């Protein structure tokens, strides 16, 4: 069976490794087909595609778009996109544009909480100045000794209600799905089990997503706990969504799942790649 992994990050967003290094790392871990889905950015795709070809790894160009839906941040993955599409590029550019100001505000909040200089500190971890992420602040706070790992630093400082959390309004669901479709791609709800929606609200999200032309949800992802795999497999069946799978890899040792360890999709769902090869 093919190991198809359709969600990962490079240092073009909040991952640590350059695209070519992620390609090598994934190949060595046994991945056969690799999807690169940096946040709000497609700047790593050309390098990722070339590196994948060089190591005999199948390649799927993708992106993970930040949106705001019902006052929460939700991520929509686009797969098999044309990364040169002007509609997509304009939308992603607009999405990225608020990140630097948000970073400065996060830094101001962290200073009040006793951690000055966080903007400059986080910048040391930023690979792409257009894409300053909470993850870069997390790495800096760990460096300061404020927490010992990524999960803890998000719990203590960077999630809603915590001292370094700055609310932000991203794109709409309709915009993100529209950009992905304009670029010839397939839209996927990323890690649905991570949001804090009631079952009712989650159902409304899925209905709206489907109406807008969305096709799939992630079922097996490093951002789900294993007990969520069958839950989202069942929801994929119920809503008629294809099922996607991917580690959500950010860095060796830092992510909740590594390429070699992610289980296959449960039986009874239709893999998003069912007609790709």
Which residues, 167 to 196, sit near Mn ion by CB under 5 A? 190
Residue 38 partner contact from ligand AMP, Mn ion, none using kind-dependent CB cut-offs of 5 to 8 Å: none
Angle, helix 199-211 to helix 228-239, in steps of 10 degrees: 50
Residue 27 partner contact from Mn ion, ligand AMP, none using kind-dependent CB cut-offs of 5 to 8 Å: none
> Could you tell me how many residues of this chain bind ligand AMP (CB under 6 A)?
10
Question: What secondary structure, in 3-state letters, does 185-219 show?
Answer: CEEEECCHHHCCCCHHHHHHHHHHHHHCCCCEEEE
Residue 119 partner contact from ligand AMP, Mn ion, none using kind-dependent CB cut-offs of 5 to 8 Å: none
Which are the contacts of 228, defined by CB distance < 8 A and separation ≥ 6? Answer: 193
Which residue in 27, 39, 191, 224 binds ligand AMP (CB under 6 A)?
Answer: 39
Binding mask 205-244 for ligand AMP (x = CB under 6 A): ----------------------------------------
CA pair distance 48, 21, nearest whole angstrom = 9
CA pair distance 250, 271, nearest whole angstrom = 23
Which residues, 56 to 85, sit near ligand AMP by CB under 6 A? 66
Binding mask 189-228 for Mn ion (x = CB under 5 A): -x--------------------------------------
Q: How many residues would you count in the chain?
A: 277
Nearest to 76 by CA among 182, 189, 171, 170: 189
> Could you tell me how many residues of this chain bind Mn ion (CB under 5 A)?
5
Binding mask 110-149 for ligand AMP (x = CB under 6 A): -----------------------xxx--------------
Helices (H), the chain: 19-28, 45-55, 86-96, 99-112, 118-123, 134-143, 150-153, 173-182, 199-211, 228-239
Is 14 near Mn ion (CB under 5 A)?
yes
Q: Least separation, in Å, of the C-beta of 275 and ligand AMP?
A: 29
Q: Least separation, in Å, of the C-beta of 211 and ligand AMP?
A: 26
Decide whether 85 or 135 has the Cβ nearer to ligand AMP: 135
**Kind of pairing between the strands at 216-221 and 242-246:** parallel
Which positions touch ligand AMP (CB under 6 A)?
14, 39, 66, 133-135, 150-151, 154, 250
């Amino acid at each position: 069976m093919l190991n198809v992994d359709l969600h990962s990050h490079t240092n073009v967003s909040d991952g640590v490794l350059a695209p070519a290094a992620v390609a090598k790392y994934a190949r060595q871990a046994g991945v056969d087909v690799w999807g690169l889905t940096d946040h709000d950015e497609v700047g790593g795709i050309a390098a990722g595609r070339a590196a994948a070809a060089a190591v005999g790894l199948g390649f799927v160009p993708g992106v993970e778009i930040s949106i705001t839906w019902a006052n929460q941040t939700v991520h929509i993955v686009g797969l098999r996109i044309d990364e040169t599409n002007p509609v997509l590029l304009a939308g992603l550019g607009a999405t990225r544009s608020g990140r630097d100001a948000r970073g400065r505000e996060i830094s101001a909040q962290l200073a009040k909480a006793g951690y000055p200089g966080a903007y400059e500190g986080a910048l040391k971890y930023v690979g792409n100045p257009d894409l300053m992420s909470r993850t870069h602040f997390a790495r800096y706070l760990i460096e300061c000794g404020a927490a010992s790992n990524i999960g803890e630093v998000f719990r203590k400082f960077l999630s809603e209600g915590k001292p370094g959390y700055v609310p932000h309004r991203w794109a709409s669901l309709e915009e993100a799905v529209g950009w992905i479709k304009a670029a010839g791609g397939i839209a996927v709800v990323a890690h649905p089990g991570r949001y804090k929606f009631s079952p009712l609200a989650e159902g409304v999200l899925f209905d709206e997503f489907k109406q807008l032309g969305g096709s799939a949800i992630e079922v097996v992802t490093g951002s789900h706990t294993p007990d969520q795999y069958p839950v989202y497999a069942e929801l994929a069946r119920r809503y008629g969504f294809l099922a996607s799978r991917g580690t959500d890899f950010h860095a060796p040792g830092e992510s909740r799942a590594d390429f070699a360890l992610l289980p296959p999709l449960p039986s009874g769902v239709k893999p998003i790649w069912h007609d790709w090869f």
